[in-house]
């Protein structure tokens, strides 16, 4: 029965919530599921892997998400903030390493006003790269101003589609605001990235199935799935960690249902499994997002413990991941890797 569901998903790219739940619950079909996702990835996205260089430019955040080491109440981390020209310098170096996309990621930090961000974004665009922002919840006008400055993509994870769980884990934040942000970003013509944390305390299999259907409903262009990893400096210290295999299953199902979207092999997956990113690339993923932040800032951007590559340099990271990609017969793309919608009904 579940094997037939995989076949159906591979051919029709459609499953009901009940069917998704059945597949998420059945661990006897995992290999078939991962292989089907890999075939769909190859058919629609080819063998190229796109690298996106992440600049983690501020770990200051006004929000207080219970699962995140950057939460405002965490007094155990040293905070930092890079100045606009330092961000531009890192982006310039990333371009030198061959990156075609730079992702500017931070906590929700009010220092970066619209004017400062417009300056950074428009300067980065002069390098001929795609610019992705991951700055959290903003107003429609702010998103519009970034877009007008040249931003191409925006990442904002829904984290979980379980409204009650979301509002419990993200005190002071509202699920409806999150959805409003995603709608605004789509309206403004961004390529929109979203995604979930898998294995949050209190999260159900049913809500993971809802997450997958939500990504399809909003026509997300990029979907990142990462296992929840408890951080000792947060109230979720001591909670059970998310499961690598379950994260991989959710990711593989996303590939089957949304064949032409960009899916990263996330860093958090490699934290739980030494081969995590390679396994993810062989189970539906087509993107890797290496860190191009330098020095101690890599350690200080401590979303969760055990983050990989914190002692490496950006130059080392690009060589390391390129070697891994080649070792599985894939190639590093020389293009920006924007989402191109394909006919998925054939
Ligand atoms: S998840 Fe994002 S918004 Fe929440 S505390 Fe961490 S950095 Fe801030």
Give me the DSSP letters along 151-209: --EEE---B-S-HHHHHHHSTT--HHHHHHHHHHHHHTT-EEEEEEEES-TT--HHHHH
Cα 305 to Cα 345: distance, rounded to the nearest angstrom: 42
C-beta of 63 in contact with ligand 1 (< 6 A) = yes
Residue 22 lies in a domain: no
Residue 158 lies in a domain: yes
In the predicted model, is pLDDT for residue 79 greater than 90? yes
d(CA 170, ligand 1 centre) in Å: 9
Q: Count up the domains in the chain and report the number.
A: 1
- Cα angle for residues 67, 197, 247 (degrees, 5° grid): 135
Q: Position of tokens 């299999």?
A: 205
Position in ligand 1 atom list of the atom nearest CA 136: 3
Residue 25 lies in a domain: no
Identify which of 61, 229, 235 to mutate to test ligand 1's pocket (most ligand atoms within 8 A of the CB).
Answer: 61
Percent residues over pLDDT 90 in the chain: 90
Per-residue pLDDT band at 346 (split at 50, 70, 90): low
Nearest CA to ligand 1 atom 5: 71
d(CA 47, ligand 1 centre) in Å: 33
d(CA 278, ligand 1 centre) in Å: 27
Which token pair is 37? 């996702």
Tens of pLDDT, residues 165-183? 999 999 999 999 999 999 9
Residue 14 lies in a domain: no
Nearest CA to ligand 1 atom 4: 65
Residue 16 lies in a domain: no
Residue 3: what pLDDT?
95
Residue 49 lies in a domain: yes
In this prediction the pTM is: 0.97
Per-residue pLDDT band at 309 (split at 50, 70, 90): confident
Residue 43: what pLDDT?
98
d(CA 200, ligand 1 centre) in Å: 15
CB 108 within 8 A of CB 63: yes
- Cα angle for residues 293, 298, 301 (degrees, 5° grid): 110
Average pLDDT over residues 145-155: 98
Residue 145: what pLDDT?
98
Which token pair is 303? 């979303």
Residue 299: what pLDDT?
85
Which of 315, 262, 267, 269 lies closest to 287, judged by CA? 262
Residue 77: what pLDDT?
94
Residue 10 lies in a domain: no
Residue 303: what pLDDT?
84
CB 194 within 8 A of CB 215: yes
d(CA 108, ligand 1 centre) in Å: 7
H/E element, 8: helix 2-12
C-beta of 258 in contact with ligand 1 (< 6 A) = no
Position in ligand 1 atom list of the atom nearest CA 67: 1
Tens of pLDDT, residues 40-54? 999 999 999 999 999
Residue 312: what pLDDT?
85
Per-residue pLDDT band at 157 (split at 50, 70, 90): very high
Domain holding 181, by residue range, is 32-332
Residue 327 lies in a domain: yes
317 phi and psi angles, rounded to 5 deg: -60, -45
**The domain that contains 138 carries what CATH number?**
3.20.20.70
C-beta of 107 in contact with ligand 1 (< 6 A) = yes
In the predicted model, is pLDDT for residue 343 greater than 90? no
């Amino acid at each position: 029965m579940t094997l037939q569901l995989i076949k159906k998903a591979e051919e029709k790219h459609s499953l009901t919530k009940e069917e998704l739940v059945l597949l998420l619950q059945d661990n006897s079909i995992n290999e078939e599921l991962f292989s089907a996702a890999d075939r769909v990835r190859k058919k629609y996205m080819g063998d190229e892997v796109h690298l996106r260089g992440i600049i983690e430019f501020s770990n200051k955040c006004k929000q207080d998400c219970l699962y995140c080491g950057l939460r405002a109440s965490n007094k155990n981390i040293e905070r930092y903030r890079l100045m606009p020209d330092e961000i531009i310098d890192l982006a310039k170096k990333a371009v030198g390493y061959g990156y075609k996309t730079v992702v500017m990621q931070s906590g929700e930090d009010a220092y970066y006003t619209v004017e400062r961000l417009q300056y950074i974004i428009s300067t980065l665009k002069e390098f001929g790269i795609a610019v992705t922002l991951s700055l959290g919840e903003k107003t429609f006008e702010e998103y519009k101003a970034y877009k007008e400055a040249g931003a191409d993509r925006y990442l904002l994870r829904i984290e979980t589609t379980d409204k009650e769980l979301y509002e419990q884990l993200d005190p002071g934040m509202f699920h409806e605001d999150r959805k409003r942000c995603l709608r605004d970003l789509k309206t403004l013509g961004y390529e929109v990235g979203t995604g979930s944390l898998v294995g949050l305390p209190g999260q159900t299999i049913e809500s993971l199935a809802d997450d997958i259907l939500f990504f399809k409903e909003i026509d997300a262009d990029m979907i990142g799935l990462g296992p929840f990893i408890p951080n000792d400096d947060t109230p979720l210290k001591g909670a059970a960690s998310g499961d690598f295999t379950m994260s991989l299953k959710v990711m593989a199902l996303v590939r089957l249902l949304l064949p032409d979207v960009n899916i990263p092999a996330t860093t958090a997956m490699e934290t739980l499994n030494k081969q995590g990113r390679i396994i993810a690339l062989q189970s539906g993923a087509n993107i890797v997002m290496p860190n191009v932040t330098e020095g101690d800032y890599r350690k200080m951007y401590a979303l969760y413990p055990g983050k990989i590559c914190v002692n490496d340099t950006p130059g080392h990271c690009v060589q390391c991941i390129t070697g891994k990609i080649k070792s599985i017969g894939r190639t590093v793309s020389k293009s920006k890797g924007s989402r191109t919608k394909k006919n998925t009904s054939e």
